[in-house]
Amino acid sequence: MLQSFEASAPAVGRKADRPTRTVSRPAGAAASKASGAPREAKPMGTITVKIPLVTWRDGRPRFFASAAQRKLGFKGEDLRHGPDGAWFTLDECIAWSARRMAEIEAMRETRAKAVADHKARPRFSADVVTVSIMVSRCLEQDHYQGKAVSRGRKSRAACSPHTIRQYNNASRVLENLDDGLIWHSPAAAISPAALEGVLDKIEQKHGLATTRSVRALLSVAWKFGQKRLGLSANPVIGQQLPVPAPRIRYAERHEIAALVDAADRLGLPEIGDAVLLGVWTGQRQADRLSLAGGQIVDDAILFRQQKKHGQPLLIPVSADLAARLDAARLRRKDWRVNYPEIVLDERAKRPFQADWYRKLFRIVATVASTGVLPADGKLGQVARSITRGLDLTAALDGFEPVATLADFHDQDLRDTAVTWLALAGCDIAEIASITGHSLKTIQDVLKHYLGMHPELARSAIAKLSAWALDK
């Protein structure tokens, strides 16, 4: 008997669909039975098994979470025993489906109760300033919207995209904490002790870095509230948080080579360009993505660092980087619209959005460290989308993953540049002329990075030995 499996993911309600089985006879079966003639051995029909939440792809079961299910916290997954284990059988898929449907229903009931509790909260009069009003009005100011302020002799620079993104993310963390309990509370009712408890909850759930972002947001918001909204006390004053330990990470030469190779094999050479641009110039991601062709003058790049209020740096272009940039120009020479930026999203044929660049970099780093695409969550969806039509087996044939790249981030390219320059024998002033760091910052960076590198220790001992022999 032939069997074909179909899967569908209908809306999950209180009445769960049970697996159904449909059998159809082949044409002529009734006539053969009436005539008494012997029947040929033919397939009896097709069995269609529908299991809620299960989709069959190439005979293998998988769960694809809908948008509503993702909002409830569920993610897509392969239905198998472990990452490399056997795939679920039909019976196992049915049992898994029943459990997952119960989990979804329980989560829906929890969310519904939270909404009901929110609606039951007391409403404040229009003149009561809640935390949400204070934060929202603060972030509506021009400089937090990326606009420079210039009125008469008053001038304020726009906040950097990074700061704006950081404050917006922090506001969402506050809004979602305890189903909005703090977000909708009167700002004047928040005491220092209460705020300390709020920050402690956020740190336990999201970590120290996010907590520091929330504290920074609340600090500027409460100052705004005191100045514009008539608030008196500022509970943020005195709220001290520890400074995270400095991230100690730089790449070795073989790691950078693997990153660039992975990018090229995935059909993302522009990510490889951005990596080499970071190593050979030591500039931040935002400065590299905004770098325009007009800034390359006489084989040197004129950078104006966004974070340093336009500090100019004239950096000579190395032969390796020049070859890479020439190849990028050739790839784009037939574009109908050619943007001035050096690093462009070559699939969309436009400048990079920072979030999209970070996703592509993370995909490249994952492949460089594991040899396979990320599979889960939004990153997995993006990875499958950008490699659709690409023969991954052929593309990655012969590629040697470098496992140490699993924790490598784009921001580490700047630290890598500082370290490589020092290892090449550059002094602090020379390094600062490339990366734009202050001399003190260079010393701090070197303190963390160079003490970890054995080449420097060997070089130092060799110099000491040579000096001792001369005596």
Output Rg (C-alpha) for the chain, integer angstroms: 30
- Give the C-alpha separation, 347 to 390, whole Å: 14
pLDDT tens readout for residues 86-136 = 999 999 999 999 999 999 999 898 888 877 766 665 555 557 899 999 999
462 burial type by CB count under 10 A (0-12 exposed, 13-18 middle, 19+ buried): exposed
Strand duo 47-49 + 3-5: pairing: parallel
Domain chopping of the chain, boundaries: 3-116, 131-228, 253-459
| CATH domain 253-459 topology | hpI Integrase; Chain A (1.10.443)
The whole model's pTM is what?
Answer: 0.62
- Residue 235 pLDDT more than 90? yes
Is 5 a residue whose pLDDT tops 70? Answer: no
The residue among 334, 386, 388, 335 whose CA lies nearest residue 360 is: 386
Residue 319 phi, psi dihedral angles, 5° rounding: -65, -40
Q: What mean pLDDT, rounded, does the chain reach?
A: 84
Give the whole-angstrom CA distance, residue 414 versus residue 355: 19
pLDDT tens by residue, 323-375:
999 999 999 999 998 899 999 999 999 999 989 999 999 999 999 999 999 98
State pLDDT tens for residues 21-54.
444 444 454 444 455 555 555 656 666 678 999 9
What average pLDDT does this structure show over 188-208?
93
